[in-house]
Structure 1
């Protein structure tokens, strides 16, 4: 999906050599991780051990391990701070960047339990190693730690309200996602609303919190939030595409795992609602109750594509990116921060895991 050139033209950026997405993520990692580790040091030893395993800092025995997370949300928070207030605003956004990463980890810990996922980032999920109760409790602790990150900041009231509202939207989106598994009548509007809550809310909060840290003002903060929410829907669309067509060696999840569990992801719902012969065959396959076997998954993959689900999701992701960039333009960002946000947006659409 080639979007970088179009995005850079839309930004009208004057930067001669915009940084790569890898450089933007590396800077966020370098600045945010010490603050995140400091937050973990305040936890009890048992909870810190499990949280650090989930973060990829060590293995189940506590031995150092190679991290595999991308820290997209912290990078977005810091890039929005730079876009709204220049380089001087970046340091002020560190607590916000840590907070959104802690909320992200909270959501992943709980999602893995609810979905029964046994792999995360190429290794066993927390609940399979330490237990379901432990995974839930550590997620709860990380959520409270996220609020603590913001509670001592000059903008604490606004920042905490922004984060907690996003968590409520995230949980509502996750609730809908779980409920869809029991329904045969899910439509695309519902599915897109679910994605905006489940994924868009936290990306929107990351961007808004970065702008709040920079003192951008309410109107600009709203536009940064809209940028993040639209980008979040695009992120979910790409995630759903990878859940069907991604390479397991890259994604760290079994091929077609979403189809095997009859998950009504966005490409699947688009396919089911297409009114085609392939959609009717896919519907019959999805009406069963047993997990689909390897041959069924292969057939379902072909049917989703034949019914137009893959093409619709790809096109909708590009449309959401365009909407995100329109919101970013309206915020009148500083050039360097805008360029960082552009490469992060492109990374989301072009990623393979």
Structure 2
């Protein structure tokens, strides 16, 4: 894919930060998952890419580890040792895995990270149960940590927002593309903050809280993470329409063939070209025509401008939190890497 406008390639230290945090957190994450019922532990391990169906070891592609890195950096931003953020990192990784297991079932997505989704590999009922187990384990992990009760309250608030965002996302699919009941960009923005931003904000806030940060700093970091989450989702929306499948690992124009109401689509649906675009969505044969129409209607430019606005807001809130030591630079580079990623 052509580089996003005004994008700056992040220094290698951003991927290095992800790798450093993963190395710190993964032993604790594996230990926590290993305490589950063996069948549930296997399904969780499959979700994390650690094993195949049946339990044979594997090194399947996993996620970037963004949330666990934010939790560790949140603790370091508070001036604490990185290890103070490990329980928060484990908890948010467990919650993220739980949400993906359930999301794939709700959305009917048969694959996840180029492998059969959990419900396809094990069945719907077992995948729901595995997700429930991961959620319970996340709460238990935080409750056992120093400053645990306050941390559990932060996680509970984020989960409430995450569920609200997911509910809105499901309801959006049934609403028309045009007319008075159409989904507006403002509604989509609020949904993205809940579904994607709430857990990113919670990751930063949890790490900071366990690291002993002040309440104003924790609040500022939570809000920064929420803005980052919206920007992250908006960039995903651009990649879902115009991304190079060799880079993204997803079919070109996949969101258009599925008729998803992403931000660039909603902008274009609200333009004079809206009715014409509405007739193209969901057609595999006309995905290219739909992509061109969305770009012509300003959908791509508006989405990138919105992503830049949320990135700027996140940076301002990070500055307000006054991260200690090297955490400030690492957070800034990680933010740049995530919102201008090509993968």
TM-score normalised by length of structure 2 = 0.93
Residue equivalent to 2:202: 205
Out of 93, 96, 108, the residue aligned to residue 101 of structure 1 is: 93
Out of 167, 184, 188, the residue aligned to residue 187 of structure 1 is: 184
Residue equivalent to 1:157: 149
Out of 59, 62, 71, the residue aligned to residue 55 of structure 2 is: 62
> Following the alignment from structure 2 to structure 1, what is the Cα–Cα distance between the partners of residues 226 and 41?
31
> Following the alignment from structure 1 to structure 2, what is the Cα–Cα distance between the partners of residues 100 and 70?
13
| Cα offsets for 1:323-348 (capped at 9, x unmatched) | 00000001111240011111110111
Counterpart check, 1:83 vs 2:80: no
> Following the alignment from structure 1 to structure 2, what is the Cα–Cα distance between the partners of residues 264 and 293?
14
Residue equivalent to 1:12: none
| Cα offsets for 1:83-124 (capped at 9, x unmatched) | 121xx4311110000000111111111111111112211211
Counterpart check, 1:167 vs 2:159: yes
> Following the alignment from structure 1 to structure 2, what is the Cα–Cα distance between the partners of residues 175 and 27?
35
Change (3 A) 1:147 1:38: same
Residue equivalent to 1:334: 324
Work out whether residues 8 and 340 of structure 2, in 8 Å CA contact, stay in contact via their aligned partners in 1: no
Counterpart check, 1:348 vs 2:338: yes
> Following the alignment from structure 2 to structure 1, what is the Cα–Cα distance between the partners of residues 149 and 43?
30
**Residue 285 of structure 1 aligns to a residue in which SS?**
coil
Range that drifts further, 209-218 or 244-253: 244-253
Q: CA deviation at 1:247?
A: 2.6
> Following the alignment from structure 2 to structure 1, what is the Cα–Cα distance between the partners of residues 156 and 246?
35
Work out whether residues 120 and 253 of structure 1, in 8 Å CA contact, stay in contact via their aligned partners in 2: no
Q: CA deviation at 1:4?
A: 5.0
> Following the alignment from structure 1 to structure 2, what is the Cα–Cα distance between the partners of residues 223 and 248?
36
Work out whether residues 256 and 283 of structure 2, in 8 Å CA contact, stay in contact via their aligned partners in 1: no
Out of 226, 229, 232, the residue aligned to residue 232 of structure 1 is: 229
Structure with larger RCO (C-alpha < 8 A, sep 6+): 1
Structure 2: gaps (5+ residues): 177-181
Aligned-residue Cα RMSD (Å) equals 1.7
Range that drifts further, 90-99 or 117-126: 117-126
Work out whether residues 207 and 225 of structure 1, in 8 Å CA contact, stay in contact via their aligned partners in 2: yes
> Following the alignment from structure 2 to structure 1, what is the Cα–Cα distance between the partners of residues 93 and 197?
14
Q: CA deviation at 1:254?
A: 2.6
Q: CA deviation at 1:245?
A: 1.8
Counterpart check, 1:244 vs 2:241: yes
Counterpart check, 1:51 vs 2:44: yes
Range that drifts further, 50-59 or 245-254: 245-254
> Following the alignment from structure 1 to structure 2, what is the Cα–Cα distance between the partners of residues 65 and 299?
40
- The runs of at least 4 consecutive aligned structure 1 residues that moved more than 6 Å come to none
> Following the alignment from structure 1 to structure 2, what is the Cα–Cα distance between the partners of residues 280 and 306?
14
Work out whether residues 200 and 232 of structure 1, in 8 Å CA contact, stay in contact via their aligned partners in 2: yes
Counterpart check, 1:112 vs 2:110: no
> Following the alignment from structure 1 to structure 2, what is the Cα–Cα distance between the partners of residues 198 and 101?
15
**Residue 78 of structure 2 aligns to a residue in which SS?**
helix
Residue equivalent to 2:279: 284
Residue equivalent to 2:68: 74
Aligned residues: 333
Q: CA deviation at 1:284?
A: 3.1
Counterpart check, 1:301 vs 2:294: no
**Residue 183 of structure 1 aligns to a residue in which SS?**
coil
Residue equivalent to 2:268: 271
Residue equivalent to 2:216: 219
Work out whether residues 68 and 90 of structure 2, in 8 Å CA contact, stay in contact via their aligned partners in 1: yes
TM-score normalised by length of structure 1 = 0.90
